[in-house]
Homo-oligomer: A and B are copies of this chain.
Amino acid sequence: MQRYFIPAENWAADTVSIFGDDVHHMTRVMRFKEGDKVICNRPDGKAAICVIRTLDPDHISAAIVEWLNETVELPVNVTIAQGLPKGDKIDFVLQKGTELGAAGFIPFQSERSIVVWDKKKTEKKLNRFAKLVKEASEQSHRNKIPVIHPLVNMDGLIRESNNYNMLLFAYEEEAKVTAYQSFAKAVKSLGRNQNVLVCIGPEGGFSANEAETLKANGFSPVRLGPRILRTETASLYVLASISYHLEELGCE
């Protein structure tokens, strides 16, 4: 069943009001009619089967018929801090990271980031990103939309890190070490609903200076397998592995 994320203010006791792009999608793309059913998600993760009652060009009203008792959210909250990569690779990280269950994303301006986002560019991008993660959440049947945090530099990242129970960063130098298991040890030690922040460097990785700063501020370096991953692949490895360990292997 098609799924839509509806802002909190559009939920009444037994009806949901749908506006904007979702109306376009429901009438023009899906060609829904009165009586058709969709799943509507509330921002708090709750979801309900709703039946469409009225369709106007700018407003659809749907009646809540059944609250769902489902959850497909990861048992831990994984936020990815992504060093700004080149081109549109960040779109890829957001889309795939959302599919794989990320709780949030922090774009950060790293020493080796070649691109620089000015204020205007950042605002425009953040709007586009919000749409991208909403659509990816709907497609992957998520209960929640990941949060996109404001752009930070290293100082901002360190400040933000106080909100997390576990701090990790992917360090290429670690990939070359035969002694491994630091990432797996970290995943094993995770408790339900803990907040994990995983930092990924841009192309070229973290500078030695950045790695020192991260370590000094409580971040542990981890390797993500022995092969060298591109910057846009690293967060996927992290999220797939955490899903595998906690949702498939059942080692929680």
Contacts and interface: CB of A to CB of B under 8 A. Distances in A.
Contacts of A247: 180, 225-226
Interface in A149-195: 180-181, 183-184
A181 B223 contact: no
Nearest to A246: B225
B240 A236 contact: yes
A1 to B, nearest CB: 12
A98 to B, nearest CB: 9
Nearest to A71: B226
Q: How large is the interface on A (under 10, 10 to 19, 20 to 34, 35 or more residues)?
A: 20 to 34
Contact of A100 (B223, B227, B244, B249): B227
A140 interface: yes
A248 interface: yes
Contact of A184 (B72, B236, B240, B250): B250
Interface of A: 72, 96, 99-101, 139-142, 180-181, 183-184, 223-230, 233, 236-237, 240-241, 243-245, 247-250
Closest 3 CB pairs of A and B: A241-B244, A240-B240, A225-B243
